[in-house]
Amino acid sequence: MATGGQDAKFFARGKIQEFRNELKEAEAKDKKFVKRKVILKKIVANITMGNDSKFQVLLVPRACYLLPYFLSVGLVPGCGAVYEHSGLGNQKEWVSCFQTRFGLLIYSSVVYLYLVSYGKGKPDQINFAVQHFLQDCADRNPLIRALAIRTMSYIPLPIVTTNLIDPLRHCLKDQDPYVRKTAAICVAKLYAHDPKLVDKHNFLAMLRDLLKDANPTVVANAVAALTEISERSDDISLKLSIEVANKLIARTRWGQIYILDCLLSFVPQTTTDAEVLAEKISMRLQHANSAVVLTTIKILLYLMNYMDNRDAINHLCKKMGPPLVTLLSAGPEVQYVALRNILLIIQRRPAVLKNDVKVFFCKYNDPIYVKLAKLEIMYRLAREENAKAVLLELQEYASEVDIDFVRKAVRTMGRLAIKVAPAADQCIDSLLSLLETKVTYVVQEAVVVIKDIFRRYPSKYEGIIPTLCENIDALDEPDARAAMVWIIGQYAERIDNVEDLIEDLTLNFLSESAEVQLALLTAVVKFFIKKPEKGKELVPKVLKWATEEVDNPDLRDRGYMYWRLLSTDATAAKEVVLAEKPPISTDTDRMERGALDQLLLHAGTLGSIYHKNPETFIRTSKGKWLTDSPALNQASRAALVHRPEDMPLLPALPKTTIMRDRPPEPGEEVPGLQNRYTEENNSRADASSLLIGAGDDDELDNGNDDDADDDERLPVGGIGGGNRSVTDLNDPYAGLGGAFGSDGAGSSSRGGRQQEDLLL
């Protein structure tokens, strides 16, 4: 067989005229088809490279050994028909069927490949080849029969699929297992083209019969076809009994992935069924194929949901660890797939790799995508016993040259401090040492994670704030600047030169990013509440910018909220703005349990790499869910994600009478609505006490204008409340000075209604 280097010579762009001339020359002298074989390979290589625009105008080959006339003339095979192609001159040649009697299967394969490639574009010509498809389906050579039926299933044209029915039915019962296993896949392809045709001719029942076939390859293909069909159809689902599941595992040797994946359709009814099946499947964990290993792990994780025996679950978890570690010795692409799956597995079953964190330490020659995936797993596996080793490794990574990798390593240090409390002091020391490097991107990431550490451990590490303030000029990224602004606002009373820092930061308020502007606005309000005498001149200026000169709606809304809050009640403002926040935790890092169980059903697929269910990004994909059964353990049942069709229907809403604010227009029909203005004028007085807005306008208002009261009694923007002159209304920030008094803790009298509720 030719090697890859030898085949490279065929991938040279050629012209149709050159191929035609070469084939004509070879036809006279090449009795053993050696030269024509080389030319055909060149043609296929040109098709592969996309250099086939000239070939698409011609469809059916004259014969497997007369392919040049197919390419250059477009002769129709069989039946003695003649075809003239107007672009290459008038040529008439009688054509015969594919010359399979020469035993040259490779030429038939090339011809069929050409038909598959261009048959869709020439439906008016493909019908001439159908007769020869049918002849090859009845050939004595099983390879020819399988090749013909496979090719027909690849061409989604009505004339081909209609003629495929009878040969496919015979091939499903063919004596040769190679033909049967090919026919099984053809049923799935036919279903993709025309599902009604498959249902009409009862091919699904014939596929189910193949599950009992003596040949394991036929069984594997039948399972693959049924699985494919069930994923494409909303009405067809594959269900296995424990007897069938055990037989499939016992007899399969090839196509193990299809067989194992099919076991997701088996729903254990007892915990014993799940344990017995899992023990049999676990032998495949030692398989050399990484896809088989990942599929086996997927099935084991699925079956664990139906087990209650903790010892059995732990035993399986120990078995799964070494095969997963072995996958890390493969190439980087396989490593990445394994790492993304491992990240899901350890969130659901941490015991699988709890003692193997060092296996995920990065190597110098790992690609960046592998390094980033390993960092995330290192964080997930970190705990008090191994936190020191993980931190030392992260410190090494912080000195790497790859900026993205360094950023991720520094951020992982901060997350480690939040997750493992005993290691927080060591993490802070490491971050401070990184600040001393004065490397811009390192300093900025360190500031971001230190902010999160402050939120996790309030009042514990404030001593490092002066060190952070020394690096404020090096911060030019929005995340870092926003984090530093938050620290300054949160600890304003503990920073000596806080007034100067905030004023410097607000100088370019309007040119900052929205994230930094929001942080600055909150920090200025906190500074004003904590030190009102020093902040009374700064806060109205920033509020004015936020509400009048900025287009961002979030910033404007927050500015108006602070403005009204400060104007209404200083004590309430202090309670809201300076309210004690709950410490952050790592609970939000975990995926929701039900979603995780559902996602693990797609282990080893694209869904496990994207960490998304395939139906969210593949239109034709069908979702998978855990199925409830008596064996499903309580923990899995509590987090069970139901299928959409199994969701309970909401009760019907009761009929509601809708009140109207106006009388109907003359001739207007208002079905189902009750008008406030009833036709019985004599009952109007009685209705006025029950219907909102009934009666005359004066009676409705009762002398009160709520909106006017809001404008009159709640100051437009002044802080401190009280009566204000019309002149003051032109300046919404008048009266800021006395909002908090000297200590910022006093309460001003609330103008307007005392019980007004503010929705923040």
Q: Which residues contact 199 (CB under 8 A, 6 or more apart)?
A: none
Q: Which residue, 62, 63, 69, 22, is CA-closest to 42?
A: 22
Q: Which of 88-92, 213-217, 446-450 has the lowest mean pLDDT?
A: 88-92
pLDDT band at 418 (very low <50, low <70, confident <90, very high): very high
Instruction: Return the structure tokens found at 438.
Output: 């004065």
Domain 357-457 is in which class?
Answer: mainly alpha
**Domain boundaries of the chain, sorted by first residue:** 239-354+592-641, 357-457
The amino acid occupying position 485 is V
Q: What is the pLDDT of residues 510-522, one digit of tens each?
A: 999 999 999 999 9
- Distance separating alpha carbons of residues 428 and 450, to the nearest angstrom: 8
d(CA 361, CA 365): 12
Range scoring the smallest mean pLDDT among 63-67, 339-343, 581-585, 679-683? 63-67
Question: What is the mean pLDDT of the segment spanning 564-587?
Answer: 86
The helix/strand/coil state of 261 is: helix
Q: What is the mean pLDDT of residues 583-594?
A: 82
Beta strand segments in 61-205, E: none
Query: Is the pLDDT score of 740 beyond 70?
Result: no
Q: Are 558 and 734 in contact (CB under 8 A)?
A: no
Residue 653, pLDDT > 70, answer: no
The b-or-e profile of 175-188 (16+ CB within 10 A means b, else e) is eebebbbbbbbbbb
User: Which pLDDT belongs to residue 743?
Assistant: 42
In DSSP notation, 670-739 reads -TTEE-SS-S-GGGHHHHHTTSTT-S-HHHHHTT--HHHHHHHHS-SS-SS-S---HHHHT-TTTT-TTS
Cα gap 719→567, rounded to integer Å? 3
Reading the block at residue 125, the tokens are 């010509």
Instruction: Show the tokens assigned to 417.
Output: 């401090």
Written as one letter, the residue type at 737 is G
Based on the number of CB atoms within 10 Å of its own CB, is 706 exposed (0-12), middle (13-18) or buried (19 or more)? exposed
Specify the length of the chain in residues: 760
| Beta-carbon count within 10 A of 616 CB | 11
Name the pLDDT band for 120 (thresholds 50, 70, 90).
confident
| Residues 6+ away with beta carbon under 8 Å from 587 | none
- Amino acid making up residue 415: R
- C-alpha distance from residue 83 to each of 62, 75, 112, 506 (Å): 10, 5, 19, 82
Band (pLDDT 50/70/90 cuts) for residue 655 is low
DSSP secondary structure letters along 401-464: S-HHHHHHHHHHHHHHHHH-GGGHHHHHHHHHHHHTT--HHHHHHHHHHHHHHHHHSTTTSGGG
